[in-house]
């Protein structure tokens, strides 16, 4: 999801540790952060502009934010924005898709977690359809969607138009191929090529470019950039990853 939710705080911050940001005039931030919701801090300055880090809300205090992952080395002080993280039910509203009584009949959304697909399907219910992951039918619509995470939407019945609204990021984070296999989105409204080194691989869904097709198109990074596995030719232009689309990136150990 490249669009952002409105910020609840913009101000100056100083790195206070590998996972700590010290805020200037952040006293009013915690009262407006719901402990049951997820938030992320977005760096607005320097080379890290656009990068987002999830906040550990319960561990944070009025003057400091505790993050769930390490900040990059060399980051000092700069302007940051704190925003709520979008959820599955917000980005893919249940009312717009086709629900069903079984996973095999309903529309579904697929995430890639720990090396395997995690499927959320749209269960029919008396109080309205909602996203679930298993036979317990517990609502999973609150599943968080970090800024650069990708997912696949599987429509079983008919095309759907999903209106989306949000803030356009001033600076999109640099998309780098990380170790392992990940399903990622661009994080911005411009097409991009992931930053890679020789041997990294990329797999894009053919249906994004040619509706009705259902296969993956594979590329490997070489001396001249991204090379098509099918033709052996450079990918050329435009970039491979479009806004509101997702690709698999693969970096071997």
pLDDT digits (tens, 9 = 90+) for 82-134: 999 999 999 999 999 999 999 999 999 999 998 999 999 999 999 999 999 99
DSSP 54-85: EB-GGG--SSEEEBSSPPPTT--EEEEEEEEP
What is the structure's pLDDT at 221? Answer: 95
Q: What is the pLDDT of residue 113?
A: 93
- pLDDT at 155 (0 to 100): 92
Nearest to 19 by CA among 92, 75, 79: 75
The pLDDT value recorded for residue 174 is 77
pLDDT beyond 80 at 47: no
Three-state secondary-structure class, residue 94: helix
Does the predicted TM-score (pTM) go above 0.85? yes
Residue 229 has pLDDT above 90, yes or no: yes
Check residue 151 and give its pLDDT: 94
Q: How far apart are the first and last CA of the chain?
A: 28
Higher-scoring residue by pLDDT: 208, 92: 92
Domain parsing of the chain, residue ranges: 9-85, 89-154, 180-251
For residue 113, what are the β-bridge partners? 116
pLDDT of residue 108: 96
With a CB cutoff of 8 Å and minimum separation 6, the contacts of 78 are 12, 13, 43, 44, 45, 46, 48
DSSP 39-60: EEEEE-SSTTTT-EEEB-GGG-
List, for residues 16-39, the tens digit of each pLDDT value.
Answer: 989 999 988 777 787 888 878 899
Q: What local confidence, expressed as pLDDT, does residue 167 receive?
A: 87
User: Rounded CA gap, 119 and 117, in Å?
Assistant: 6
CA 162 to chain centre: 17
Label residue 186 by pLDDT band (50, 70, 90): confident
Work out the average pLDDT over 188-212: 88
123 in Cβ contact with 140 (< 8 Å): no
pLDDT in tens, 141-158: 999 998 889 999 999 988
98 Cβ contact list (under 8 Å, min separation 6): 106, 107, 122, 155, 156, 157, 158
- One-letter-per-residue 3-state SS of 108-156: EEEEEECCEEEEEEEECCCCCCEEECCCCCCCCCCCECCCCECCEEECC
Top CATH class of 9-85 equals: mainly beta
């Amino acid at each position: 999801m490249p669009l952002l939710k409105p910020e609840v705080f913009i101000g100056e911050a100083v790195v206070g540790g590998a996972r700590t940001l010290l805020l200037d005039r952040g006293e009013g931030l915690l009262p407006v952060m719901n402990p049951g919701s997820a938030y992320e801090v977005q760096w607005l300055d320097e080379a890290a502009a656009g990068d987002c880090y999830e906040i550990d809300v319960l561990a944070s205090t009025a003057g400091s934010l505790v993050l769930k992952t390490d900040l990059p080395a060399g980051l000092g002080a700069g302007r940051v924005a704190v925003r709520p993280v979008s959820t599955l039910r917000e980005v893919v509203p249940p009312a717009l898709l086709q629900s069903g009584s079984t996973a095999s009949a309903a529309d579904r959304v697929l995430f890639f977690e720990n090396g395997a697909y995690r499927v959320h399907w749209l269960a029919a219910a008396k109080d309205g359809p909602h996203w679930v992951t298993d036979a317990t039918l517990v609502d999973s619509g609150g599943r968080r969607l970090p800024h650069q995470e990708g997912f696949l939407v599987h429509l079983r019945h008919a095309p759907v138009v999903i209106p989306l609204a949000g803030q356009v990021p001033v600076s999109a984070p640099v998309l780098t191929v990380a170790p392992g296999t990940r399903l990622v989105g661009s994080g911005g409204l411009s097409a991009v090529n992931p930053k890679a080194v020789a041997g990294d691989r990329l797999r894009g869904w053919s249906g994004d470019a040619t509706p009705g097709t259902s296969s993956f198109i594979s590329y490997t990074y070489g001396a001249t950039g991204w090379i098509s596995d099918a033709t052996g030719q450079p990918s050329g232009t435009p970039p491979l990853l479009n806004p509101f689309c997702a690709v698999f990136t693969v970096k071997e150990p």
